[in-house]
């Protein structure tokens, strides 16, 4: 449950970040790791799975220093999936909050 849950949340976060702008894999990993307690390394797996499911695509761009950078772009399919995830997330949060509030006030 927790692994699946975390995986879903990470996908939601990554897709949300990518909807705003194309991002370099490293940026996604480091930004996410800052806000969620997760090993940087596991984000690359999330990106890879999203790519396999065609929710994102990637392209390489030369960088002034070091090897070419892999940028990720959200696809149309990914945007639809993000909407689904977001709805699920919102209803989950709402339900959990109601539950917590009720049990606190009870």
- Is 40 near another protein (CB under 8 A)? yes
Closest separation in Å from C-beta 73 to another protein: 16
Query: Which residue from 1, 35, 67, 102 is in contact with another protein, where contact means CB under 8 A?
Result: 67
- Is 69 near another protein (CB under 8 A)? yes
Query: Which H, E and C letters describe the chain, residue by residue?
Result: CHHHHHHHHHHHHHHHHHHHCCEEHHHHHHHHHHHCCCCHHHHHHHHHHHHHCCCEEEEEECCCCCCCEEEEEECHHHHHHHHHHHHHHHHHHHHHHHHHHHHHHC
> What residues make contact with another protein under the rule CB under 8 A?
25-26, 29, 33, 39-42, 44-45, 47-48, 65-67, 69-70
């Amino acid at each position: 449950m927790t692994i699946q849950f975390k995986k879903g949340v990470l996908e939601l976060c990554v897709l949300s970040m990518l909807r705003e702008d194309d991002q370099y894999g490293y940026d996604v990993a480091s930004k996410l790791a800052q806000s969620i307690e997760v090993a940087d390394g596991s984000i690359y797996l999330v990106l890879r799975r999203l790519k396999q499911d065609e929710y994102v695509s990637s392209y390489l761009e030369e960088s002034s220093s070091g090897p070419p950078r892999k940028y990720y772009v959200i696809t149309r399919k990914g945007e639809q999936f993000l909407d689904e995830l977001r709805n699920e997330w919102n209803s989950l949060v709402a339900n959990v909050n109601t539950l917590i509030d009720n049990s606190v006030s009870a």
